[in-house]
Structure 1
């Protein structure tokens, strides 16, 4: 099985770029919570061992790698809020989060490796897209881990404020428990109103009240 390597970063360095950031986002699919992005500039001489696409790692391994990445790399984490998701759309909001993450790095990145097939339109530095980049580039893999762990922890915090939806386990994704919570407790301020299941609940409730 192929694993991410440093070839994209090395190719960028060969072109003269000094600070190359891997960028990834997590949280496009959930019905609740922000979309989160991370940007990571790895030190090629101090790489965490075992970096891979966050989806291919256990939660325990992700947590351990999160701590290593935070200790060994230049990392920035950013989010776009539910309001921004509903105002723009989830794709645009995820790109807003990506740009904020790149801007938050201690070092000024001069090239970005973006997971996916679209470069965020407000990104002001050189960039390239890598489809399935979290499984191909070590920097993007690191960003995927950081974004995933940070967002999961954030949803655990929100679950303490809004129990009953199972966010501590489903991270806001539309599981059976989450749907049951919506039926029992209704829509919270952290739900994405532009997403069809939430929109339908609000619309039906409104039509009933009318």
Structure 2
């Protein structure tokens, strides 16, 4: 993303969040995910809570995809200070395989949600996209175990969730959440790259580049790969025929 392109993109603001404030809400949580379309690594969900009684704008924040890595990293401490609560939750590749992508997103989101609840219970959530994968589902097993043990109980999101397409481009709280999630997930993939150099995770962060696919064909998948997905360039028996992009 060039500086000219970023300049031409209108900065996200708190207009949508303040409209929710007019309905009586004070603590608004912005929520976004990263890693949905990767072949390896977790899906990660960021949540940023703003207090509409005191929140001002935050210069420089954009959807994480519109920022260079150094820009995202520099924003993290500023976002943490600006928010009244913030967290990032993750669901592993094994959980994606075992639960399915939507339930894994909910798992990651629930982990982030539990952290922000320790500081302040959000009144309402703005979720990027058109599908509410965050809200708690009755009797759903979010944390299944391989040995058949009972699932670990978790506190799912019980606040009202407003989905909004491209909220990461327009809503400041959601854009801030996307930055936190992207920085944390990228750092995790870089930390794995040294022991798995063939896959180029320090560069591609687990996404489907030709180098990554070719390495899977040559070396085979690791425990950090989503084994139910089509991973390499060669057809794999029992694998899904498509990845879920995003």
* TM-score after normalising by structure 1: 0.90
| Contiguous gaps of at least 5 residues in structure 2 | 1-8, 137-156, 239-246
Cα deviation 1:85-137 (Å, max 9, x = unaligned) = 00122222113212322221121111111011122241311110110110010
How many angstroms apart in 2 are the aligned matches of 1:89 and 1:107? Answer: 30
Q: Which moved more, 1:193-202 or 1:76-85?
A: 193-202
- The structural deviation recorded for 1:4 is 1.1
- Equivalent residue in structure 1 for 2:120, among 79, 91, 107: 107
1:166 aligns to 2:176 (yes or no) = no
Q: Counterparts of 1:153 and 1:21 in 2: how far apart (Å)?
A: 24
Select the residue among 93, 96, 109 that pairs with 1:98: 109
Q: Which runs of 5+ in 1 are unaligned?
A: 205-210
SS in 1 for 2:231: helix
Q: In 2, are the aligned partners of 1:62 and 1:145 still within 8 Å (CA)?
A: yes
Deviates more, 1:137-146 or 1:184-193: 184-193
Aligned positions, number: 204
Structure 1 residue 29 displacement after superposition? 0.6
> TM-score, with normalisation over the residues of structure 2?
0.77
Relative to structure 1, is the Cα distance of residues 146 and 172 closer, same or farther in structure 2, using a 3 angstrom cutoff?
same
Measured against aligned partners, the alpha-carbon deviations of 1:23-45 in whole angstroms (never above 9, x if no partner) come to 00000111100100010013554
Question: In the alignment, is residue 83 of structure 1 matched against residue 83 of structure 2?
Answer: no
Alignment correspondent of 1:208: none
CA RMSD of aligned residues (A): 1.9
Q: Counterpart of 1:31?
A: 39
What pairs with 1:10-21 in structure 2 (closer than 5 Å)? 10-21=18-29
Higher helix fraction: Structure 1 or Structure 2? 1
